Amino acid sequence: MTEPSNMRQWFERYDMESDHEDPVAIAGADLCRQVEELEMRLARAYSNALQARADCKEAGDIEGMERYAGVRDVCNSALTRVRAILASTPDDKEDAELQPAEAPRPMIVCLCGSTRFMDAFHQANRELSLEGKIVLTVEIVTYDGATDPQRADPEQKHTLDVLHLRKIDLADEVLVLNVGDYIGESTAQEIAYARQRGKTIRFLEPGDQPAEAPAQEQAGGERN
């Protein structure tokens, strides 16, 4: 007899070789049906999210595109895991039960915003970390203008700005800490970069966001 190649085939084989009233066979068949139904629901949700995002794109609804991109990514991730379950078979190794299951990678969130709002950075970092997410935040911040590389050395500031863009590349989502609806020039550039990369973008405070900071607020040279 051909060896089963997935979960359903394994339980069907078990059912054939055991008493049809065996509770393991009954539970296994029921589990397969539930997982397959979940797969169909996720596939429909994924397809709906793709269509909704396409509709938003046609309508020029950027926020809608970002929202449905997030739904699409969540559905796709879940669908991948469910299909992996359906394709799996029991491991016949004696120590199989001792092997820990590979945990899915946590979501990576990159924080963007002006370094004048470090309290907001610290709070968001703490809250997201407690939610089990990986947080990428700003690099070097001091309150001494003479020693802070983001103020004293324009070349070093540029290096740090580029480094933050690389963090956006690694992230699944960008959280903009627009305290008081403030968005500086550097942060506006990071938002534009994240959108170009198709990242999901959320704002700490909803509402219309300015493209850049007022000139007088940029004069200090801090990372906006």
Q: Domain ends where: 31, 66, 92?
A: 92
Give me the amino acid identity at 1.
M
Residues 173/109, Cβ–Cβ less than 8 Å: yes
Domain contains 182 = yes
Same-domain pairing of 21 and 70: yes
Residue range 64-93, pLDDT digits in tens: 888 888 888 888 787 787 777 666 655 544
CB-based contacts of 144, cutoff 8 Å, min separation 6: none
Same-domain pairing of 183 and 118: yes
Same-domain pairing of 62 and 149: no
CATH number, domain of 208, equals 3.40.50
**pLDDT over 50 at 155, yes or no:** yes
Note down the domain range covering 147: 108-218
Confidence of residue 199 (pLDDT cuts 50, 70, 90): very high
**Residue 172 has which token pair?**
């699944």
Q: Domain ends where: 61, 92, 123?
A: 92
pLDDT at residue 152, as a whole number:
60
| Alpha helix segments (H runs only) across the chain | 7-17, 23-59, 62-86, 118-130, 149-152, 154-170, 185-196, 215-218
pTM above threshold 0.85: no
Same-domain pairing of 112 and 187: yes
Which of 111, 121, 123 has its CA nearest to residue 175?
A: 111
